[in-house]
Structure 1
Amino acid sequence: MAVQYQCAMSLDGFIAGPGGDMGWMVEYLTPDPTTDELMNETGALLVGRRTFGGDDPYKGTENEGEPYGGGWDGPQFVLTHKAPDRTFPGVTFMDDLRRAAAAAAEAAGPKNVGVLGAQVAAQCLEAGLLDEIFVSVVPVLLGDGVRLFSHPGGRTVQLEPLRTVTTDAGTSMLLRVVR
């Protein structure tokens, strides 16, 4: 079991466009066996609040609001300081990173915890909770938006490549965080 940051990224390093726009991904949402394998190995999600309530590349489709466009189903733990007034099936809102990560790990059992959202991934990295990064590099340049990783003033994080797979959808990399 690993705590694994899971995302798609433009070649210039953005996981979302300006203002969190995810519409750029629509034309790249093609069947991908690497992503299918990733979803099968994921038992729970630890999600940032902005990601949970943010723009959706599946907007206007029957899969809107579903993780991985409905390709994945399971418990989600959303990190937030302000839980919404309404409930969402299978979603638990928590305000403490370590407790949320522990709850997600327990729910995931022997499978991975998928981390969605740049800010929560950075918090996991800073807290020593992040084990791996799975990033699918999409052949597009966005020029601006939400970076895969940002640390004001800079920070070097050593990563060890574990696997690289190239398909028509792009190149996916699985990297281990070196501690």
Structure 2
Amino acid sequence: MAKLLYSATMSLDGFIAGPGGDMHWMARLPDTGPHEVADGLWKQIGSLLVGAHTYGGDDPNAGTDAEGAFGGLWSGPQFVLTHNPPARPVPGVTFVTDLRTGVDAALAAAGDRYTNVLGADVAAQCLQAGLLDEILVFVAPVLLGDGTPLFRKAGGTFAELEEISSATGPSPAIWYRVRK
């Protein structure tokens, strides 16, 4: 059965994108060699649930062989949560206007693999609705100072997390289960 996973690379000061959604800082990270968690993650993903800003946003690998999800390694069904679906269909992308509809469709499409959430706003909505199962954070050795935080909820929210695993190195990875 599929699970809903929010995975993101975050700066040490808590941002997943720089000011204005800038993602070019990701392309400037030094190559630290093999990473036991990151290198195989894309194989565990069966579908994507993507926010509209992320879908139409900045790909640090645009125009290269690494363009797209997981450095261009992943392909499969994508479900984009948006208030303004395009008039024309986009191959491989389903636009949905309701969170629950998008989550259900993405989980069904993922089979026995993860549905990966891309976008802080959609992840916060999933967490608030009690739908998010796991969170995987890679901590990049940079400071951005401003931008899109890993999570933001007006008025705050409290979510208890339980560590599943962690990996050390230049970009530590911490995998959590969301306690419900």
Into which bin does the TM-score normalised by the smaller protein fall? over 0.9
1:58 to 57, 61, 84: 61
Change (3 A) 1:29 1:98: farther
Partner of 2:14: 13
- Aligned partner of 2:147 in structure 1 is 145
Q: Which moved more, 1:55-64 or 1:129-138?
A: 55-64
RMSD over aligned Cα atoms? 1.4
Q: 2:52 aligns with which of 32, 43, 49?
A: 49
Deviations 1:38-84 (Å, cap 9, x if unpaired)?
A: 211110000001000001110231333x1112111111000001112
Deviations 1:122-151 (A, max 9, x none): 010111110000111101000000000012
- What is the distance in 2 between the residues matched to 1:126 and 1:40? 27
Identity %, equivalent residues: 54
When residues 98 and 151 of structure 1 are mapped into structure 2, their CA distance, relative to the original with a 3 A threshold, is: same
Structure 1 ranges of 4+ moved more than 3 A: 29-33
Q: Tell me the SS of whatever aligns to 1:39.
A: helix
Count the aligned residue pairs.
Answer: 177
1:85 and 2:87 equivalent?
A: yes
2:135 equivalent in structure 1:
133
Deviation at 1:29, TM superposition (A): 7.0
Gaps of 5+ in 1: none
Please list every run of 5 or more consecutive structure 2 residues that lacks an aligned counterpart in the other structure: none
Structure 2 distance, partners of 1:166, 1:75, is 31
